[in-house]
Structure 1
Amino acid sequence: MHNENQTEQQEKLVKLIKKFGTAMLTTRGADGSMHSRPMTPLGDEFDGGFWFATEIDNAAVIDLQANPEANVGFMHEGDNNFISVAGRGSISQDRAQIARLWSAPMNAFFKGGKDDPRVCLIRIDAQHADYWDGPGNLLTKLVFFATVATTGNHEALSDTGSVNL
């Protein structure tokens, strides 16, 4: 892990988050087991949390109502970037917020569009994040692997960080 202060790490985290289009939202089910599902974060800016749209009877909503602890995972394999964000979830049916975050492609997932009474938002407020910002292309990866092989410095493989949010 490189010696960056929390502000620098938060800035790096926000920069990495903007690369991702899909996340894996993980919640704990009533039986205690973990359940993950792909979700698309809504909005253009990271404001300390993530918004997702779903239906009020979705398993993720039910899980979060019983246990708000959640994890949001991101992976961009082409750039070798990974983020794991731990946080707490809440559910909102605020129609104004739904309208603000709504985009035309979402109509494919919700029959009644943004006015469908079953549409709700999941908000995950981030508490802690870990990230791995690795070498992006094959040539860069080969250079990094060669560096590790010759120096034994495994930290050279990627820039990693742990950020309290």
Structure 2
Amino acid sequence: MNDWSKTESLKFLQDKVKEVKTAMLTTYSSEKGFNSRPMGTADIDDEGNIWFFTNEYSPKISEISVENTVSLTYSDVANHTYLSIVAEASVVDDKAKMKELWSPFIQAFFPEGLNDPKLTLLKVQPTDAEYWDSNSSSMVVLFNLFKAVVNGKHYDEGKHGKIAL
């Protein structure tokens, strides 16, 4: 990935985020330390910003208002693909953007729809990203693990690297 252009790196990040869809968002507060929760990705745009719908009055928004550096972790166990992203988060109250990103799935969390007074967007701008991708099925991974043990060799985990942002 070191020889990829920024455009190729961004495309890789977009593809992986869109495949996995759900991230663990980790925030930090001095009172409670690190706090993680699953978040459904609404979109990753052409600039690499990752968008989420959220409740404006949730603890994560309070935490981000004090410390806006967050971590996102995407894990696709079935395909052995993992992303770790460090980012700057901000709250965006933009009804036009909300309308653009809206889906019926969001309605389950915000029954009042776009008119819900608690509804807001969380914009996460990655500053650092890393990936692990074995690009193999579970059977191939298990076979390669078994082969490494039998042969006394180190298991080849697949591709790993930084994503140029």
* Interval containing the TM-score (normalised by the shorter chain): 0.7 to 0.9
Contact residue 84 and residue 129 of structure 1 kept, 8 A: yes
After TM superposition, list the pairs within 5 Å mapping 1:124-163 onto structure 2.
124-146=124-146, 148-149=148-149, 150=151, 152-154=153-155, 156-163=156-163
The letter for the 1-side match of 2:133 is D
Q: Which runs of 5+ in 2 are unaligned?
A: none
Report percent identity of matched pairs.
23
TM-score by length of 2: 0.86
Distance 1:87 1:27, change over 3 A: same
Question: What's the counterpart of residue 42 of structure 1?
Answer: 42
Q: CA RMSD in A?
A: 2.1
After TM superposition, list the pairs within 5 Å mapping 1:50-69 onto structure 2.
50-69=50-69
Contact residue 145 and residue 157 of structure 1 kept, 8 A: no
Question: What's the counterpart of residue 86 of structure 1?
Answer: 86
Distance 1:46 1:161, change over 3 A: farther
Q: Which runs of 5+ in 1 are unaligned?
A: none
Question: What's the counterpart of residue 17 of structure 1?
Answer: 17
The letter for the 2-side match of 1:35 is N
Q: Is 2:70 the partner of 1:70?
A: yes
Question: 49-58 or 134-143, which moves further after superposition?
Answer: 134-143
Question: 24-33 or 82-91, which moves further after superposition?
Answer: 24-33
TM-score by length of 1: 0.86
Distance 1:36 1:152, change over 3 A: same
Distance 1:159 1:25, change over 3 A: same
The aligned length equals 162
For 1:127 and 1:147, locate their aligned partners in 2 and report how far apart those are by CA, in whole Å: 38
For 2:32 and 2:132, locate their aligned partners in 1 and report how far apart those are by CA, in whole Å: 28
Question: Aligned-pair distance for 1:34?
Answer: 0.5
For 2:148 and 2:10, locate their aligned partners in 1 and report how far apart those are by CA, in whole Å: 27
Question: Aligned-pair distance for 1:147?
Answer: 5.6
- Partner SS for 1:48: coil
Distance 1:49 1:151, change over 3 A: farther
Question: What's the counterpart of residue 108 of structure 1?
Answer: 108
The letter for the 1-side match of 2:3 is N
For 2:40 and 2:138, locate their aligned partners in 1 and report how far apart those are by CA, in whole Å: 28
